[in-house]
Amino acid sequence: MLEKRPMGCSERSIAVLRDLVARHTGRLAPDVTALVEIASERGLSKGEALLEAGEEAQVAGIVLEGVIGEFYVGIDGKRKAKWLASEGDVVGSMEDLVRKGPARATIRSLTPSVVLCLPYAKLRSLTTNDLAWAGFFITVMEHLYRQKSEREYTLLMLDAEDRYRWFQKHHGHIEAMVAQEIVASYLGVTPVHLSRVRRTLGAA
């Protein structure tokens, strides 16, 4: 999908890549030029897909603008929110990128968005013969694993009110931009239950 509405790699994107590398490397920092050479910006309209279930996942990305949702879609067409990503977050269904084959997840723009796309195969190839890039990749994957583990903990161990408090802490800045049914799905409750929780906590 990279060929659709390519926007090049702007100065903003280069700054984002430099910041990403700086945050996930130590003294052995790789040359960000290698990332710039494979990166491209892609604009997405609201509702447009970055990945459809059944396709082969090929791209990881960084959200530059807007909100992107990762979903599992049931045979009844109902969506289960897997992850919500906003400015600065990594997006790309790592499970499908690593597993290969037909993707289980659908990734869709929930607002007009811009994503800085990185072909996963090229990103992995950087790590083959370069210890600096290998260290960067491992650190990023560890960061994503911690995010996934924290989300699993909130769903399995916290009640609905504490899950909503967690959501407000980590995603509160996008709540008004996302449909209530998506927020409810992300928290593992029904929209009616979410409304009740919000009233209880005075957030309605």
Q: Is 39 helix (H, G, I), strand (E, B) or coil?
A: coil
Q: Please give the pLDDT value at position 120.
A: 94
Q: Please give the pLDDT value at position 178.
A: 95
Alpha-helical runs (H) found in the chain? 11-23, 33-38, 94-99, 120-126, 131-157, 160-171, 180-187, 191-200
Q: Please give the pLDDT value at position 1.
A: 37
Q: Please give the pLDDT value at position 30.
A: 82
Q: Please give the pLDDT value at position 3.
A: 35
Please tell me the distance from the alpha carbon of residue 184 to that of residue 195, in angstroms, as a whole number. 9
Domain 11-129: which topology? Jelly Rolls (2.60.120)
**CA torsion through residues 96, 99, 101, 104, sign:** negative
Q: Please give the pLDDT value at position 31.
A: 85
Side chain identity at 91, as an amino acid letter?
A: V
Tell me the domain boundaries of the chain: 11-129
User: 9: Cβ–Cβ under 8 A, 6 or more apart, which residues?
Assistant: 36, 39, 40, 41, 116
Task: Kindly give the parts of the chain with pLDDT less than 50.
Answer: 1-7
Query: What tens digit of pLDDT does each residue of 118-155 get?
Result: 999 999 999 888 888 998 999 999 999 999 999 999 99
Q: Please give the pLDDT value at position 5.
A: 38
Q: Please give the pLDDT value at position 204.
A: 52
